[in-house]
Structures are given as C-alpha cells and as structure tokens.
Structure 1
Amino acid sequence: MAEHFHLNTPLLESVSMSRQTGTAVYLKMENSQPSGSFKIRGIGHMCRQLATQSKGVVCSSGGNAGMAAAYVARKMGVPATIVVPSSSPQMVIQKLREQGAAVQIVGKVWDDANAEALRLAETEGLTYVPPFDHPLLWQGHASVISEVAASLGTSVKPGAVVVSVGGGGLLCGVVQGLKDAGWADVPIVAMETVGADCFNAAVKAGRRVTLDDITSEAKCLGAKTVCQRAFEYSQCSELTIISELVTDQQALRAVETFLDEERVLVEMACGAALAAVYSGVICRLQDEGRLPSPLGPLLMIVCGGSSVNMEQLTYLRNKLRT
C-alpha cells in the first residue's frame, strides 16, 4: 500500500490576488487531490490507522468527506457505505457510486445522515469515519501545513493563513500544522458563509451553538454545530483566529473570479475562503489593525470541492442572482 493516499499538492503564487492584497498570495491547491479536496489527508490517515482489518467503512457526508472515504476504501479494497442528506447534489451521488461506494440518502441535513451512519457502524460492525471531528483527521490534515513549510523553507513564514470552516476539521488540522512548524503565532482567518456559520455563532456566543438550519448554498460548510476542539482553539489566548463571514453572493463571485483568473473551478465552500481576498476582507482586517500592515505572504488553503460543475455553477448563478 502507498505511504499516503493524498498528494503533495502544488503551492502556486497568484499574481492577481497578490496585486489585490499588496502581499504575495500563495495558493495551496487541495482541489488537485485525487478525491477533489483536502479531506483525503485526514480520512486517508484515519483509515490507515483504523480500517485495515475492517468489514467496511461508513461515512456521513454531503460531499467531500464521502468522496475521500469512498476513494480510500476502494484503494484499500474494503467496502464503503456513504450516507448523504437529501440536499446533496445528484452529481456527488453519482461520483460516489463511480468510486464503488454504496450510497444511502437519509434526512435533510448532514446531522440526520450522521445519526444513520453511527447506527450502521453499531449494527453492522463498520468502521465509522467522521467527516471532521476526530484527532486522527486533524493529524492527517496538518500535513497540508508541513508541505507548505517544506516548500517555503524556514526563512519564509506566512503572514496569515486563510481557511474555510464547515465543521472545523481543516481548521483544527491547520492549527496543529502551524504548531508543528513553529508557526503557532501566525493568524488564521476562518471564513464561513452566512447561513452555514456555526463557528462564527460559537465565537460570538462564547460557547458552542447549534444552528436551526443550514440556509447557505455552500452545502459543504453545512454542519449545524462546530467541533469542540475548533471552538476551544477560538478561545485560546496563544492563537489568533479571526472569524469572518461573507454572503453566498460573495462566495459565488469568488468562485467565478477564481475560475477566470486561475482557470480552476472550486465549490462555494471554498469560495468562502477565496472571498477573503476578492471581497476585501483581508484589507479591511489590516485597516482595523487586526492583521499587520504590511502583511507577510498570505497562504490560502484552496480546499477544493467535488460537488461543482458547470451545471451546478449555472444553477447557483440563477438562484443567487434573482
């Protein structure tokens, strides 16, 4: 078996984003992972630890975690059952089946699908692979930062890291990776869309809160409660984590601009992070004194996404522009 299921993804400098922010912007292209997103890092790591002798894996996911679990299971030769909510795009369900996974559609949101996945793990004796809330996942995701550190070398330290937050798994991995690299003082800008903002709601309330519903079109950011570890990090005085929101329209505009400028199509959940540059969030944070001016190189985690194609993009344009 290969040492990893994930690739060491390209780290590219964006000339247009650098011009817009007045600092070098580096893109960590997680969209080029075999499963389409960063999720394969953590899920691959977890399955390698837990699922080698497994009867099969079960994962609850409206998209990227399911794709990663299905891909890894196929490579390991174990069966995969992916439980998705009814809000998942048809193209994702089709892609999961192409990877050889059995797909079950349960409930309206991820939380419903997750309850069924836990039940299947219990009754069928399957290995449960959570999409974001597990230390092995965070350990795997931390590799995204160790690769960046190896690429940039010890003399170059990011001025800030920009990530999208759904359930908080990538955020936890990035924090761990920054600590491992000796970069724990690097600020993190945590981006969400309005209507899928469980992390921002927790930061504002000073405690974890559960959203009533996911109303954003960035369905892959759609966890109603952020994981405990991500919330704890937000309260930690040694870390600087800045929680920011953009609208669905701003996230969509970021997706379109990124497609035009970098020739890469990513999903809305990833657009939330890109909007930190395209909607001027980074410059505003500098004006407010919450990020330094001048700023060292900005690291954007382009988390990717398997639930977007031209048809989906057209649908989102029509829905969000009316």
Structure 2
Amino acid sequence: MAEHFHLNTPLLESTSMSRRVGTTVYLKMENSQPSGSFKIRGIGHLCQQLARQSKGVVCSSGGNAGMAAAYVARKMGVPATIILPSSSPQMVIQGLQDQGAAVKIVGKVWDDANAEALRLAETEGLTYVPPFDHPLLWQGHASMISEVAASLGPSVKPGAVVVSVGGGGLLCGVIQGLKDVGWADVPIVAMETVGADCFNAAVKEGRIVTLDDITSEAKCLGAKTVCKQAFEYSQCSELTIISELVTDQQALHAVETFLDEERVLVEMACGAALAAVYSGLIRRLQDEGRLPTLLGPLLVIVCGGSSVNMEQLISLKHKLQT
C-alpha cells in the first residue's frame, strides 16, 4: 500500500512576482498533484484512516475534492460516488468519470450536494468524505508546509503565507502546518472573491454566517458557510490572519497573468490567492502597516484546480467583461 497518495510538489521562486512585491516570492505548486489540487493531501490521509474496509466512498464537491476522492478511491480499489452541484462544468464530470467514479448532480450549490452525500452515506452505508471540514483533512494538508520548511532549510522563514479560502480546509491545514514547523507567528493572508466570501463575512460579523447564495464565478470557493475551526482560528490572538477580498475580475486577471508569466493554468479559486500579488494587495497591506515593510519571503499556495481549461477560461472572460 502506498505510504501516501500525494506528491512532494515543487517550491518555485517566481522572479516576476518577486519583482512586483519587492521580496522573494515562493510558489508551492499544488496544481501538480495527481488530482490537480492540494485536496489529495487531506482526502488521501482521511481515506487511508477511514475507508480501508469501506464498501464505497461518497464525496460532495465543487470539483477538486471530488477529483481527489475519485483518484484515491481508484487507487484503493474502492467504489466512489461524487455528488456535484449543477454549477459544475462538464469537464469536471468527465474527469470524474474517467477516474471511474459514479457522478450525481444535485442542487444548485455545494451545500445542496452535501446534503445528498450525507443522506447516501447514511442509507447506503458509504464512507462520507467531507471536502474541507475534518481534522484528518487538515492534518493531511499540513504536510505541504513541512515540505516548504524542508525545501527552504532552517535559516529561511516566510514573511507571510497567501492562501485561498473556500470552506476553510486549506486554511486550517496551513495553520496546523505552520504550528508543526514552529512558524505559528507567520501572518496568513486569507483570500476570497466577492460573492464567495463566507470567511470574510464571519470575520466581519464576529460569528459564523451563512451566505444567501454564491454569486462569484470562483465556484470552487463556493461554500456558503465556513468551517467552525477556520472561524475559531480567526478569533485567536496568537495567530495573525488577514482576511481580504478581490473581485472576480481581479481573480481572473491573476489567472491570465499567471498563465502568461509562469506558463501554468489554474482556476479562479486559486486566482484569488495570486491576485494578492498581482492586484497590489500585498503592497497595500504593507503601506497600511498590517504586514511589515521589510517583508521576508512570501509563500503563495498555488492550490491548483481541476475545473479549468482554455474553453472555460474564454467563457469566463466573456462573462466577466465589464
């Protein structure tokens, strides 16, 4: 049995992004995972712990969690059922079927699909694989930070980490990873798009809130409620978590710039994190005194994305032309 399903992904230095920010920018290339995103770390870890004797796994997903669950289930020889909301692109459905998963489309947003996944787990006796809200997932995701620490060596510590937030699973994993390697004091810039901003809304309100709807095109950030652990971290005085928003246009522009400069195509959800650099947000946080003026290396988690291709990119450009 494989020790784990994820790869130790490259940590790349980006000269063009470094020039923009005025400090070295390191990219943790989670887009190069076998399933296309970081999700395989946590989902692989959870499935190894919970699904070895399973008669099948069921996962609700906006795309990436489903791809990871389908990949891991195929490797483990376990049937997978993936429940998607109707907003999922055809290419995601095709990708899941290529991995041998059964696909069901339920509801308009992830929350609807998740209710069906929970029902199936109950009635069919399947192992429920949550996409972001489980300690085993965060434990799995934390491995990316220990890889970064190993790559950078003991003398280098990030000045800040930039991460996209959907339901909060990646954020929780990154925080756990930072604690594991003794970097708990490193500030985290948590990025969302306007219209998929359940974490930012919770931070502003000082309590967990549920969005009425997901209006952003960054569908993979589309949870209406952030996980409780992510919110609790935001209230913790020992941690510095800066919650920021970009528009869909800024996220898309970041995706396009990243494609031009780094020759890598990622989805809008990942573009939210990249936009922190490309839209000048990091510089603004420095000007406002919320990040140090002399900033150590910036670590950007390139979380990836399995629901983007050229056709999808062109269609997003048409949709978001202002």
Percent identical across equivalent pairs?
90
Mapping for residues 158-237 of structure 1, pairs under 5 Å: 158-237=158-237
Cα offset for 1:61?
0.3
Cα offset for 1:172?
0.1
Cα offset for 1:145?
0.2
Query: Structure 2: where are the runs of 5+ without partners?
Result: none
2:116 corresponds to: 116
What does the per-residue CA deviation read over 1:84-131, in whole Å, with 9 as the maximum and x for residues that have no partner? 000000110000000000000000000000000000000000000000
Separation in structure 1 between the aligned mates of residue 178 and residue 132 of structure 2, nearest angstrom: 18
The RMSD of aligned alpha carbons is 0.4
Cα offset for 1:62?
1.4
Does residue 315 (structure 1) correspond to residue 318 (structure 2)? The answer is: no
Separation in structure 2 between the aligned mates of residue 257 and residue 300 of structure 1, nearest angstrom: 15
Cα offset for 1:293?
1.1
Cα offset for 1:2?
1.0
Mapping for residues 146-165 of structure 1, pairs under 5 Å: 146-165=146-165
1:285 corresponds to: 285
What does the per-residue CA deviation read over 1:264-300, in whole Å, with 9 as the maximum and x for residues that have no partner? 0000000000000000110000000000011000000
Cα offset for 1:242?
0.1
Separation in structure 1 between the aligned mates of residue 45 and residue 153 of structure 2, nearest angstrom: 25
Separation in structure 1 between the aligned mates of residue 15 and residue 48 of structure 2, nearest angstrom: 38
What does the per-residue CA deviation read over 1:11-61, in whole Å, with 9 as the maximum and x for residues that have no partner? 000000000000000000000000000000000000000000000000000
Tell me the SS of whatever aligns to 2:269: helix
For these two proteins, the number of residue pairs brought into alignment is 322
Cα offset for 1:65?
0.1
Tell me the SS of whatever aligns to 2:103: strand
Query: Structure 1: where are the runs of 5+ without partners?
Result: none
When normalised by structure 2's length, the TM-score is 1.00
1:265 corresponds to: 265
Tell me the SS of whatever aligns to 1:88: coil
Tell me the SS of whatever aligns to 1:252: helix
Separation in structure 1 between the aligned mates of residue 50 and residue 147 of structure 2, nearest angstrom: 24
Separation in structure 1 between the aligned mates of residue 91 and residue 258 of structure 2, nearest angstrom: 22
Separation in structure 2 between the aligned mates of residue 217 and residue 62 of structure 1, nearest angstrom: 12
Separation in structure 2 between the aligned mates of residue 53 and residue 319 of structure 1, nearest angstrom: 45
Superposition misfits of 4+ residues, deviation over 3 angstroms? none
